[in-house]
Chain A
Amino acid sequence: MPGARKTRKKNETGETIITLEGVSKWFGDFQALRDINLTVDKGERVVVCGPSGSGKSTMIRCINRLENHQRGRIVVDGIELTDNLKNIEAVRREVGMVFQSFNLFPHMRVIDNLALAPMLVRQMPKKDAEEMALGYLRRVQIEEQAYKYPGQLSGGQQQRVAIARSLCMQPRIMLFDEPTSALDPEMIKEVLDVMVELAEDGMTMVVVTHEMGFARTVANRVIFMDDAEIVEIAPPETFFSKPKSDRTKLFLSQILTH
């Protein structure tokens, strides 16, 4: 989308890749997002936390238009999200998403889960797509599961497959919607390790999670949301040691005390 690309220098990380300006959304009468303003720079890792029902999932789902916003602007990689299907498809090609419940396609083998979108959306030849799929499976350390069905894998393995599936579309941005919340405790680490590696490779990431350890080590900024709005944005050091808002303090005391 020439002309729509908006570049802005910010800190040392470079250009803005996601912009939300005054975004609001309602589900019926219930307001899920209230006047959200946020910019994410290329290569930045943003962790979003907050109590359930605070709108964090809704916010990141708006970024690839799984939900539509009713007021405000969202610009992703220079493309504004409107009702224009072309724009939506263009944004979805740039943005990968990992879900809480993995959402692998249960009727396809792991390798077909990975190769499908590159073949259909990017018209990649089958052989190349499968080769690439195996490459990404190797990166997430489950190459040997390639010819199984998702139902035969553990939760942690499934989530790593889901991450690899998104990576196969070579996205510039990755969204994670509570990627470890549905996992048994002993499987959380294997998924977080993959995400850390991805962060080290310079991927732009927006992560909704309650894993505060992950936020501390990986995030550039932590966002706290409550009651449909952004309450506080701060670098992790400040966020955890000197939170400004009382609501943030309350939330942190609730999740960090046990």
Chain B
Amino acid sequence: MTDTTAPIAAPPRAEGQADTDQPRSRQQPPPTEKIAVLRWMKENLFASPGNTLLTIILGAALIYWVPAFIKWGFIDAIWYTPDPEVCRQSDGACWAVVAEKHRPMLFGLYPYEEHWRLVVALAVYLGSFTITLIRRFWHWQILVPLWTVAIAVISTMLWGGVFGLTFVETSQWGGLPLTMVLFSGTVVLGFPIAILLALGRRSHLPLIKATSVTIIESLRGVPLITILFVAVNVFPLALPDGLEFDKLVRVMVGMAIFFACYQAEVIRGGLQAIPRGQYEAAESLGLSYWQMTTRIILPQALRIALPGIMNHIIAALKNTSFVLIIGLFDILTATTAVMQDPLWRRWFVEAYLFVAAVYFFFCYVLSKYSQQVERWLSEGRRF
């Protein structure tokens, strides 16, 4: 059955057999799809009686609402005026309220004349964030220096107290920069904890496993508001006299741990999807536990769990609005506070729509990005 004189003779047929990128002779082209608009509509809008009914109802609703919204939001809208009386005369939206109030909405209680510092901080943050999302820059040599500088600049801008900048306490931070700091802090602190908890829960060592299970299950069973309340009001009582942590730090750690407990379970789902053979192959090659975990298991598990992971990251962004209950003014709370102004109060809908648009923008970017990452990670792979 074997020709023992020849070197390992791979039959010529084997090569290219599984190659999808090689042209094949004798292949017929697939039938051309002639998708006429009518056929598309029949298949997608009027495929069944139920489908047709739904199409008619939704179509009617769209015809009723969309023009009205366009008329209110665009045609009749007042885009800019410093005078609320002008808005009062109009039937349309008063976007002027956003122009008038954008600074306290975006920047909260932060001293008015120092707002430029927040603009710099936000610009640096969004710039670094954008660079980080681009795959070409995924090298430690780029990202580590980038974020070291970015965090230094952002902290200097927010806190001040050096280079002649006035010192601003964290309790005065607010608006979008506060949302950004809370969100990034939560994810950056929480993600490594999530990975450790997920690995710990699957550990063979009873003590580590029990600790992970206890942390995850007890904190998942508590509302985020309770955790924040404990972090802000109860935790300081448990500390020895003289030892104090900034309220913002306590809140961030609370949010990070809460985030980590949920994220850990998502990651564990990914870990469970990895076939046992992957562990065995890594072990039989002599890899240590951490080499196997970081190089073989986690890259695959995180990829599988990516949709769920992104879900919780987006939730973490929106959870930052919970800080209102402990007296910090994130963008949503700041807007609520600003809209107490009796002159402009009646146009709160426009103000909240603006905040909604800000949230939507960031969440949409994140979810689009996660789809892109999924595509990158599945390149050249079928499994």
Contacts and interface: CB of A to CB of B under 8 A. Distances in A.
Nearest to A168: B285
Interface stretch (B16-24, B68-76, B340-348): B16-24
Interface in B1-36: 1-4, 7-11, 13-15, 17-20
B294 to A, nearest CB: 10
A95 interface: yes
State which size class the interface on A falls in.
35 or more
Contact of B286 (A93, A141, A151): A93
A148 B3 CA distance: 29
Contacts of B377: 107
Interface in A96-151: 96-97, 99, 101, 103-107, 116-117, 120-121, 139-142, 144, 148-151
Most interface-central of A105, A149, A153, A154 (chain B CB within 10 A)? A105
State which size class the interface on B falls in.
35 or more
Contacts of B296: 105
B303 A107 contact: yes
A206 interface: no
Interface stretch (B145-153, B177-185, B276-284): B276-284
B380 interface: yes
Contact of A197 (B8, B18, B20, B299): B8
A145 B80 CA distance: 63
B170 interface: no
B287 interface: yes
Interface in B307-346: none
Contacts of B275: 101, 103
B370 interface: no
B382 A105 contact: no
A214 B2 CA distance: 8
Given A151-B380, A151-B381, A154-B14, A117 B1 contact: no
Main SS of the interface on chain A?
helix
Given A89-B288, A120-B295, 7 more contacts: A96-B284, A103-B281, A106-B383, A116-B295, A151-B380, A192-B1, A192-B2
Interface of A: 64, 66, 89, 92-93, 95-97, 99, 101, 103-107, 116-117, 120-121, 139-142, 144, 148-154, 156-157, 160, 162, 165-166, 169, 186-187, 189-190, 192-194, 196-197, 200, 213-214, 217-218
Interface of B: 1-4, 7-11, 13-15, 17-20, 275, 277-278, 280-288, 291, 295-296, 299-300, 303, 377, 380-383
13 contacts: A66-B284, A89-B288, A93-B286, A97-B281, A97-B284, A105-B296, A120-B295, A121-B285, A121-B291, A144-B15, A149-B381, A152-B381, A190-B11
